[in-house]
Amino acid sequence: MHLRAIILSSFGALTDDAYRPENPANEVRVAAAGPAASGILAIVLGACSWIVPGSTFAGEAFRTLALINTSLAILTLLPAYPLDGGRILRAFLWYVSGDLILATRAVGLYGRAIGFGIVLAGLLMLALNGTWSVAAVWLLFAYWSISQAAREGFTRTLIREGGRQVTADEAGLTASRRIAADRTIDAALDEILQSTTSGPLLVQRDGDVIGLVSLAEIQRIPRATWDVVTVGEIASSLDDIPRVGQDTSLVDILDLVDASTGHVALLVVGGRIVGAVTRQLIYERIREHLRAPRDDHMRRNSR
């Protein structure tokens, strides 16, 4: 089991960016760690509150901390994704279905139902006013935090799991457009503008790729010189840009792009550079892949 980082939310939720479970068993182990730690702390602090006289400051502190940790353990075990309880439920559904995306979607819907119940409870407490007002505001804040985290967590899971199923070649990333290094900016402007939605252009000289060019490079050049400055003169260097093969999955390329200084990766086939990809382009290709089954289903139903 590999953890890149641990990022905890206000309610103990571990984000998918921090941890991608390899299998349902690992998901359960990681998800159960938080509530277990809170439960153990609650027991230890509760025992201390029995030993230390309750009338003292220390006794009151132990009792209060024990109650806080008990509450945290109960809250994080709610089956609302991405809380720990929701992750445990997701692991079970993943084990049964064999599909992490389907399990995440199902537990997310279930979590929304729980969130709706939290909202109703919060509104009822607000209607009662008095001492319940603070608890009501807290419940509404809890729902907002959980719903936001659930939406973001599902999107990340969808992107990353979808990206694992597609290689660079299958996504059509090995066919980046090229532009001659000796062309002026004015002459090549239309092609460069089109590249904003399909990744940077490969700049070539004598058949060899010597650099990359995008709209960002153009914007740094004075407009008055566009008719004399060539694309080759403004092309960014290929040094230190990570390189991947055509069989590399999109999610692996995405990790390299995020870690690179220029946030771009080069695709290499047979020792030659055939494409350049950015985070935006990878996201577009993953969305197209995920949308394809749904579009096919809609076309079949329309017949």
Enter the pTM of the model.
0.63
Q: Which residues of 209-247 are buried (b: 16+ CB within 10 A; e: fewer)?
A: bebbbbeebbeeeeeeeeeebbbbbbbbebeebeebebe
We find that the CATH architecture of domain 178-287 is: Roll (3.10)
pLDDT, tens digit (0-9, with 9 covering 90-100), for 28-61: 988 888 889 989 999 998 888 888 876 678 888 8
CA distance linking residue 249 with residue 256, whole number of Å: 11
Length of the chain: 303
**Looking up tokens 């993943």, which residue turns up?**
94
The β-bridge relationship of strands 178-180 and 243-245 is unpaired
Are the C-beta atoms of 191 and 177 separated by less than 8 Å? yes
Q: Cα–Cα distances in Å, from 49 out to 39, 64, 65, 189, 284? A: 15, 9, 10, 73, 56
pLDDT, tens digit (0-9, with 9 covering 90-100), for 112-161: 777 777 777 777 777 776 656 666 677 677 777 777 777 777 778 888 88
pLDDT, tens digit (0-9, with 9 covering 90-100), for 246-297: 899 998 998 888 888 878 899 998 888 888 888 888 888 888 888 765 444 4
User: What is the percent of the chain where pLDDT is above 70?
Assistant: 83
Are the C-beta atoms of 89 and 97 separated by less than 8 Å? no
CA distance linking residue 200 with residue 237, whole number of Å: 12
Q: For the chain, which residues make up each domain, given as ranges?
A: 24-164, 178-287
The amino acid present at 84, given as its one-letter code, is D
Here the tokens at position 231 are 């694309």
Q: Which is nearest to 38 in space by CA: 59, 4, 8, 58? A: 8
Here the tokens at position 119 are 């909202």
**Looking up tokens 């537990």, which residue turns up?**
107
* Residue 296 pLDDT: 47
Q: Which is nearest to 278 in space by CA: 210, 209, 201, 219? A: 201
Are the C-beta atoms of 211 and 273 separated by less than 8 Å? no
CA distance linking residue 281 with residue 86, whole number of Å: 32
